[in-house]
Amino acid sequence: MRKKELILAILALLFLGVLFIKPVKSTQLTSMKSVVNQIGGPTIEIHAIKLTRQGNDYRYEVSGIQNQKSYHWLINGETGTVIKEPIQNMSTKNQKLQLDKDILFQNLSVIAEVAVGKGVATAWELSGQSQNLWRISVENGQEDYVVTIDNNTLAIESVNLI
């Protein structure tokens, strides 16, 4: 599939997803900004965000700095409960994430799933260490892939079979 056809397919799927999307649970965090707001808002310098699917539930993990101290937040996707844990030494490799856009996790899923051809996104990770590249895990029942997507442009950087 050529790049132009792939882009049109992704746009069509995103449009159809808006039309036929199921209502989300009130505690489900659907975008990066909703995760940041759940843990304390824009005063936090975010260095990494990770979302994993566990059955029908989601688990969010965020690392960052608040009031000049390093923390790791865990958020239960079903209940919205936040656990805040101090971190002694945050890696100096991690840079502050550029969260200018409010990217929906669903949109990242569609882009990654279309890039693979079929399958279901099961994990999403963005860290300053990876230079603002999303790493989306996609399972299709037989094989597992990691799709790398640029956080700023949403361009597909790579698709790798793992």
- Per-residue confidence of the chain (162 residues) as pLDDT tens digits? 567 776 766 766 665 554 444 433 434 556 777 777 888 877 888 888 898 887 778 888 988 888 888 899 998 877 878 888 888 766 656 677 777 677 788 889 999 999 999 899 999 998 776 668 899 999 988 899 999 998 888 899 999 998
Tokens describing residue 60: 């969010």
- Beta-carbon count within 10 A of 57 CB: 14
CB 145 within 8 A of CB 152: no
Rounded to an integer, what distance in angstroms lies between the CA atom of residue 138 and that of residue 119?
A: 6
Rounded to an integer, what distance in angstroms lies between the CA atom of residue 162 and that of residue 58?
A: 22
Strands of 156-161's sheet, edge to edge? 82-86, 69-76, 57-66, 45-54, 120-127, 133-139, 144-150, 156-161
Q: What local confidence, expressed as pLDDT, does residue 29 receive?
A: 59
Q: What letters, b where the CB count within 10 A reaches 16 and e where it falls short, cover 95-104?
A: bebebeeebb
Q: What local confidence, expressed as pLDDT, does residue 136 receive?
A: 95
Q: What local confidence, expressed as pLDDT, does residue 104 receive?
A: 82
Any residues with CB less than 8 A from the CB of 20 and at least 6 apart, and which?
none
Q: How many residues does the chain have?
A: 162
∠ CA 45-153-80, nearest 5°, is 45
Domain range annotation of the chain: 3-161
